[in-house]
């Protein structure tokens, strides 16, 4: 089973970023010569765009028996179990029920999580908590490669 998802930022984040750049542009252009101001605002706008794009460009995939979350990978043999969490369960897992040792790849604009339980005694993380817009599908794909399914 193959699963691929990008944890893209919502479109309104781009609007907020544009408004931030516009407000900074008004402040800068009011006090510095316009040539310098345009350069400063352009660089600032580019920096904001890179930050928003990179934050929302994280890929989550299950391909060829390996879970990929951004630059991190986890082979199926280290996965003991998988649990999709809905909005309320996710909120509990991130607050009152949080384990400070859990490995997190979460996004505030995605309300559902998938909890992946590890069976590697050498790993300091007992679970991975990963944001997903399709937690049932993601959990099924991870379950398919886990040792529990073999």
Write the pLDDT tens digit of every residue in 68-78: 999 999 999 99
Q: Which residues contact 115 (CB under 8 A, 6 or more apart)?
A: 82, 83, 84, 85, 93, 127, 128, 129
Q: What is the pLDDT of residues 30-43, one digit of tens each?
A: 999 999 999 999 99
Cα-to-chain-centroid distance, residue 29: 35
Nearest to 68 by CA among 7, 124, 133, 126: 7
* Ramachandran class of 64: left when φ > 0, alpha when ψ lies in -120 to 50, beta otherwise: left
**Residue 1 reports pLDDT greater than 80:** no
Its pTM stands at 0.83
CA distances (Å), origin 131, targets 40, 54, 116: 35, 16, 11
**Residue 24 reports pLDDT greater than 70:** yes
How many C-beta atoms surround the C-beta of residue 85 within 10 A? 21
Q: What is the pLDDT of residues 116-145, one digit of tens each?
A: 999 988 889 999 999 999 999 999 999 999
Domain map of the chain by residue range? Answer: 3-55, 64-149
Q: For residue 97, what pLDDT is reported? A: 87
**Residue 150 reports pLDDT greater than 60:** no
Q: For residue 40, what pLDDT is reported? A: 97
């Amino acid at each position: 089973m193959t699963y691929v998802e990008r944890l893209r930022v919502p479109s309104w984040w781009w609007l907020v970023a544009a408004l931030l750049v516009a407000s900074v542009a008004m402040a800068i252009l009011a006090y510095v010569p316009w040539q310098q101001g345009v350069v400063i605002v352009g660089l600032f706008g580019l920096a904001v765009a890179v930050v928003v794009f990179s934050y929302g460009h994280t890929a989550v995939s299950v391909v060829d028996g390996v879970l990929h979350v951004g630059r991190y990978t986890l082979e199926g043999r280290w996965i003991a179990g998988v649990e999709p969490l809905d909005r309320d369960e996710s909120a509990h897992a991130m607050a009152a029920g949080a384990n400070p040792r859990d490995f997190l790849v979460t996004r505030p604009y995605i309300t559902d999580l998938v909890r992946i339980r590890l069976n590697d005694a050498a790993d300091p993380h007992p679970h991975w908590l990963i944001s997903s817009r399709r937690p049932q599908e993601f959990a099924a794909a991870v379950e398919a490669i886990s040792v529990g399914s073999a």
